[in-house]
Amino acid sequence: MSDQGHLIQLQVIWSRLIAAVEEQARSLIRAGFSTSTREAGDVSAGVFNTRGEMIAQAVTGTPGHINSMARSVKHFLAEYPAATMREGDVYITNDPWKATGHLSDLSVVTPIFRAGRFVGLFACTTHVVDIGGNGPSPESRDVYGEGLFIPIMKVVDRGEMNESLLKMVRANVKEPVQVEGDIFALVACNDVGGQRLMKIMDEYGLEEIDTIGDEIFERSRKAMLDEIAKLPRGTWSNTMTIDGYEAPIELCAAVTVDETGVHIDMEGTSAASRFGINCPMCYTEAYASFGVKCLVAPHLPNNAATMACITVTAPEDCIANASFPRPVVARSTIGMFLPDLVFGCFEQALTDRVPAESTGTLWNIRLGMASEGGRKGFMVTTFHSGGAGARPALDGLSATPFPSGIRNVPVEVTESITPLVIWRKEFLKDSGGPGRQRGGLGQVMEIGNREEAPLTLYARYERVVNPARGRQGGQSGAPGRLTLGSGAKLKAKGLQVIPAGETVIIEMPGGGGYGRPEDRNAEAVAMDLRQGFISPEAAAEAYGKPGTGA
């Protein structure tokens, strides 16, 4: 075939590989049991060459897996070199340091053989409903308390399910049938990918995919470096203080842009916490790189080559590079602030491209009720968020997470599976950081119980002391707040009791503003007043524009 024809073939095979991993991911999402899997597409799926480098990855809902799953395959190959892998073998782990950052994520890797020859691997990750231990609570003092730890091992041995492993899993988790179902779904979705790969190889008469993978890498690396070359060269630093568990946490980053890529160093970042909000390096890399990627080259695919252009380093055993066996279950507490941290560096280098700070960590609501007498208890998690930061030309998105891509759980669904009653769920007036572009509004939810029984609230909220900051003269968003319906204040972190007959009021923070509030267009202020997004007092005080009396 001509060289020209070769490019066409490369492109067709590339798009076919992307479709294959997309099919792999969709089949996993559809079969998955955990709420985050189905509502947010909290899964990842990808195809790898024989060296364990990711050639293509499905576009899925949450950024946290993007790099972490990609890198995990190398750990599998280190443990089980290619020469020891056999057709019909499938491997599994939930090692937070070698996979995606906490025990609740199971990663499964399947080597693919063609005519007896090892040609590549498919990998996927999903979040399971439960993995035992203290569940989602960050109160464990080490990872041992956080649930069942599955080292890299075979889950299928030459076509036979590893019954001993499944038995161990079933015995250790609260929802054994669902978790086992997720394991089968992970194995099955890699098979879907493998079957698609075989078809592609048949159709194009390929014996291996490493060559085509290398070409994909070459084009991707060049495109990524082209985008990076458009950035100014230099080093910029930023610090962000967040509330933390036992003490405030400093997150520090210095971003260097040079001809080799974008390098992030987190020197100065606070030491690890006693609580499970520590973040293993793989998850830090995922979110920090995501911040760079969506600012610099949002349209380029994620693969080993584009990812390699972004490096992340952090001091040993700081909170963003926690060592084994630190507790890590709530590692998203740190991870989800990293894009904003990186943005603060880029803000100094780029004009009118960098959004203001967002709520960051999700304001998920975890409520439970104990079983007592004939009353059946429950434990539920629903996903919600405060406001996102204002953009240089656009207001921030209200009640919308960033960087997470998760979807909410409908109120009617939550109420149909629990005795909870959500009495209101509405935008929180004046919570968006004032600015030329206003920060996204937070929201308030008030929740009670139809049963005459106390509720347990598992709180781990951020931005209660340290709000989302504005940029370029924009002001901070409102901080979050938790109270009882009767007025008493609640803590933002830890387990608390909502007495029977009481409600809990959860006020979620607003996003930061962008640009000076006095530069906000008068029409926009008037519209905000009419919509009730701001009060007449705020119009006068923050924006210097009197209320229209609407």
Partner 1 sequence: MTAPQARLAVDIGGTFTDIVLERGPGDFISGKYLTTHGEPERAVLEGTRDLLEKGGVAPGDIGLVVHGTTLATNALIERKGAKIAMITTRGFRDSLEMAYEHRFEVSDLYMQRPAPLVPRWLRLEVDERMAADGSVLRPFDPESLRALIPVLRAEGVEAVAICFLHSYMNGAHESAAGALLAAEMPELRITLSHEICPEIREYERGSTACANAYVQPVMESYLRRLKTGIAGLGIPGEIMLMMSSGGLCSLDVACAQPIKLVESGPAGGAVLAAHLAAEMSIDAAIAFDMGGTTAKLVLIDHATPQQSRNLEVARAYRFLRGSGMPLRVPVIDLVEIGAGGGSLGQIDGLGCVAVGPESAGSEPGPAAYGLGGTRPAVTDADLILGKIDPEGFAGGKIALDALLAAQALDIHVGTPAGMDVRTAAIAMVEVVDENMANAARVHATDNGAQLEGRTMIAFGGAAPMHAARIAQKLSIDRIVIPKGAGVGSAHGFLLAPVSYEAVRTRLIPLAALTTEDMGAILSDMRAEAERIVRLGVPAPAPLSESIAVYMRYRGQGHEIMVTLDALPAADALHSMLTALFDAEYRRHFGRTIPGMEIECLTWKLALSGPRPAPTGAALAPEATPAPGPRKRQALVDLASMTDGDAGVYTRTGLLPGMRIPGPAIITESETNTMVPAGFSASIDARGHIVIDREAAVAAKGEAA
Q: Which 169-188 residues touch partner 1, going by CB under 8 A?
A: 175, 177-178, 180-181, 184-185, 188
For partner 1 (CB under 8 A), the number of binding residues is 94
Of the candidate residues 337, 346, 383, 461, the single one contacting partner 1 (CB under 8 A): 383
Asked if residues 291 and 340 have their Cβ atoms less than 8 Å apart, the reply is yes
463 binds partner 1 (CB under 8 A): no
Binding residues for partner 1 restricted to 71-100, rule: CB under 8 A: none
Residue 548 identity: T
421 binds partner 1 (CB under 8 A): yes
361 binds partner 1 (CB under 8 A): no
Backbone angles phi, psi at 3, to 5 degrees: -60, -35
394 binds partner 1 (CB under 8 A): yes
Our CB check for partner 1 shows the closer of 211 and 531 to be 531
Our CB check for partner 1 shows the closer of 220 and 475 to be 220
DSSP, residue by residue, 213-249: HHHHHHHHHHHHHHHHHTSPPEEEEEEEEE--SSS-E
Beta strand pairing call for 261-265 and 249-258: antiparallel
Residue 319 identity: I
Closest by CA position to 67, among listed 386, 378, 308, 390: 308
| Window contacting partner 1 (CB under 8 A); options: 49-57, 319-327, 410-418, 487-495 | 410-418
- What CA–CA distances, in Å, run from 200 to 17, 25, 178, 444, 539? 8, 18, 33, 51, 61
Of the candidate residues 158, 167, 174, 222, the single one contacting partner 1 (CB under 8 A): 222
Residue 523 has a CB neighbour count (10 Å cut-off) of 8
Of the candidate residues 446, 451, 502, 541, the single one contacting partner 1 (CB under 8 A): 446
How far apart are CB 340 and partner 1 at their closest, in Å?
A: 11
406 binds partner 1 (CB under 8 A): yes
Task: Compute the distance between CA of residue 308 and CA of residue 99 in angstroms, rounded to an integer.
Answer: 17
Binding residues for partner 1 restricted to 472-511, rule: CB under 8 A: none
| Window contacting partner 1 (CB under 8 A); options: 214-222, 325-333, 373-381, 473-481 | 214-222
Of the candidate residues 407, 495, 524, 541, the single one contacting partner 1 (CB under 8 A): 407
- What CA–CA distances, in Å, run from 157 to 16, 91, 124, 249, 437? 29, 9, 18, 45, 57
Element (H, E) at 415: helix 411-417
Asked if residues 102 and 328 have their Cβ atoms less than 8 Å apart, the reply is yes
How far apart are CB 257 and partner 1 at their closest, in Å?
A: 18
Of the candidate residues 140, 385, 431, 476, the single one contacting partner 1 (CB under 8 A): 385
How far apart are CB 238 and partner 1 at their closest, in Å?
A: 17
∠ CA 307-312-317, rounded to 5°: 140
Binding residues for partner 1 restricted to 279-308, rule: CB under 8 A: 290, 293-295, 297-301
